[in-house]
Amino acid sequence: MELSSQQPTVQKQGFGIPLLKFWQNHFRLWVHIGALLPLGVLVWMFFTGNLTVNPIQAASQRTGDIALVFLLLSLACTPAASILGIKEAIRYRRTLGLYAFFYAALHFLIFVGLDYTFQWDLIWDTLVEKRFIMLGFSAGLILLALAVTSFDWWKKRLRKNWKRLHRLVYLAGGLVVLHYFWAVKAGIQLPLLALWVLLALLLIRIPTVKEILIDARYKLTRFFRS
Amino acid sequence: MVKIHPSEITPEHIYLRRREFMKGIGALTLGALTLAACGGNVPVAELNENELFPPPEANGKTDELGNPVNSYTEITTYNNFYEFSMDKSSVASLAKDFKTSPWQVQVGGLVNKPKTYDLDKILKFEQQERIYRLRCVEGWSMVIPWQGFTLASLLKEVEPTSDAKYVRFETLYDPAQMPEQKDKYFAWPYVEGLRLDEALHDLTILATGLYGQSLPPQDGAPVRLVVPWKYGFKSIKSIVKIDLVSEMPVSLWMDASPNEYGFYANVNPQVPHPRWSQATERRIGELSRQETLMFNGYEEEVASLYAGMDLKENY
């Protein structure tokens, strides 16, 4: 506000403020655009032949990466609200979680449909033979249950149990990161990064850690205000 | 019109650019449209280069089972060469300035006549085209028209002694050129090994080219091993050292992950891997998976090498 009073040009107000309002009013829209953008890029790369000469494997790996990112983003909403004080973040927790499920579902469908062309005997063999597939599959089932019960109707119906059920997201996070570790051949930097982020997001949920961080935030804001 | 072989006259910078140009049909069409749209501003040479230097051609079009060879683009843009990058599609650009001349291969160890081969001496061995299936342990495969010569013909020259039981190969160690060698995750340089009878087998070659041209860096220039009945990682690239030894060498992958990668690493659909399907594979360029053949389809030629051995134990 101070900035705009320093530069009281009519044109700037006429252009800038509606844009800001549009941004604020339609933030949910931007979240959707941002969440669907990786899919758009992937599809575009797929059809322009930019997804390596082994596009099915590349698409499979990328949808997995994207799903993990959204899962972590969704897990970041609660601490963003409680610790950083960004209350609005909580409104996007479900949306981001649903996008995590959406990309995980794509990841699964690519594996089953494109990679193994619905040859169920082969798919079953890999499921029981490869521990990392079993882990990913388990995590996918958890995300499916959470996605299905994510709507208000279920929330009302399940009451206390809803919260209990949705705590399974932490387990899903752990399973996904381990799935990632076991899926890579070498170069564990990215799974390791995901592990640190997940651990940090879990750690700041511990009440005492959370209180220390909230306290630190108050002290910081007071320091900057004085 | 006189027919000119592409490799004789294509300057390297044009040669590399053309490959970029050929990346995909989509890109090609787009490129052609753009050029057409530019009208009079199009430098004529740009269009002609592409007509004058078509993609290199292999003499044979299929392997002995009738599988068509993979395209030059596929073979040269999807490479596992961890010395340059773990990302298969980045290797070609990262390796493009790799120096392959001068190059020497030291052959020694338990031999009567140790010898250091300059690259031109290596190229004097009678080069022949061999169209082989290459099965990567990661579950994908290609059919590649190599040029090269049998390892046996080289080993004969140095005369292995009676104590020699194995052959140990080593890739160049040069972190300045191969950036990933600075990463200590692996015990560089890359090492591979063969039993002497495997090394002397007629299918085992040292490759110096593909598609009628010298090997591009990303495919292991200037000289690499090709052992078609084993998983791709056995076919060590950019070799500088070959030693005849009495003990089984420990390869880089055996060292990194002994329960996943054994010394033999024969293609075997019966021996599962914790990560990739070994029962099936995807041929690059094809959509559906196909069954992986025992010894990658070379069972008739090589099964006798392993008579009486438990191949699940000796994976």
Q: What's the confidence (pLDDT) of residue B125?
A: 96
Residue B312 lies in a domain: no
In this structure, what DSSP letter does residue B58 have? -
Q: Domain-by-domain residue ranges, chain A?
A: 1-37, 51-225
Please give the single-letter amino acid code of residue B45. Answer: A
Q: Could you give the number of structural domains in chain B?
A: 2
Residues sharing a CB contact under 8 Å with residue B67, sequence separation 6 or more, in sequence order: B133, B143, B283
* Regions of chain B short of the pLDDT cut 70: 1-55
Q: What's the confidence (pLDDT) of residue A13?
A: 54
- pLDDT, tens only, A126-158: 999 899 999 999 999 999 999 999 999 998 998
State the pTM of this model: 0.81
Complex ipTM value:
0.79
CATH number at residue B155: 3.90.420.10
Cis peptide before A207 (omega within 30 of 0): no
Q: Comparing A161 with B50, which gets the higher pLDDT?
A: A161
Domain with B28, as residue range(s), is 6-52
3-state secondary structure of B213: strand
Residues B147 and B233 in one domain: yes
Bridge pairing between strands B166-171 and B239-245: antiparallel
Buried b / exposed e along A18-34 (16+ C-beta atoms within 10 A): eeeeeeeeeeeeebeee
Mean pLDDT, residues A188-208: 95
Q: What's the confidence (pLDDT) of residue A66?
A: 97
Q: What's the confidence (pLDDT) of residue B18?
A: 46
In this structure, what DSSP letter does residue A19 have? H
Q: What's the confidence (pLDDT) of residue B29?
A: 43
Residue B1 lies in a domain: no
Residues B16 and B104 in one domain: no
Residues B105 and B203 in one domain: yes
Q: What's the confidence (pLDDT) of residue B22?
A: 46
Residues B153 and B47 in one domain: no
Helices B44-52 and B12-21 sit at what angle, rounded to 10 degrees? 90
Nearest C-alpha of chain B: how many angstroms from A155? 38
Residue B235 lies in a domain: yes
Copy the structure tokens of residue B92: 């070609």
Bridge pairing between strands B205-210 and B140-150: antiparallel
Residues B26 and B87 in one domain: no
Q: Do B82 and A186 touch (CB under 8 A)?
A: yes
- pLDDT, tens only, A87-106: 889 999 999 999 999 999 99
Residues B162 and B26 in one domain: no
Binned at pLDDT 50, 70 and 90, residue A19 comes out as: confident
Nearest C-alpha of chain B: how many angstroms from A104? 19
Residue B124 lies in a domain: yes
Q: Within an 8 Å CB–CB cutoff, is residue B23 touching chain A? A: yes
Residues B111 and B159 in one domain: yes
Residue B66 lies in a domain: no
Calpha distance B48→B27 (Å, rounded): 18
Residue B184 lies in a domain: yes
Provide, as residue numbers in chain A, all residues whose Cβ is less than 8 Å from the Cβ of B272.
Answer: 129-130
Residues B112 and B171 in one domain: yes
Least confident of A10-19, A189-198, B141-150: A10-19
Residue B67 lies in a domain: no
Cβ distance B201 to B278 under 8 Å? Answer: no
Q: What's the confidence (pLDDT) of residue B206?
A: 98
Residue B59 lies in a domain: no
In percent, the amount of chain A with pLDDT more than 70 equals 92
Residue of B nearest to A128 (CA): B274
Q: Do A52 and B89 touch (CB under 8 A)?
A: yes
Beta bridge partners of B105: B117
Q: What's the confidence (pLDDT) of residue A120?
A: 94
Residue owning tokens 């669907």: A36
* Polymer length in residues for chain A: 226
Provide, as residue numbers in chain B, all residues whose Cβ is less than 8 Å from the Cβ of A53.
Answer: 73-74, 77-78, 284-285
Q: A-side interface with B, Cβ within 8 Å? A: 47-50, 52-54, 56-57, 114-117, 119, 122, 125-126, 129-132, 182-183, 185-187
- pLDDT, tens only, B8-38: 544 444 444 444 444 444 444 444 444 444 4
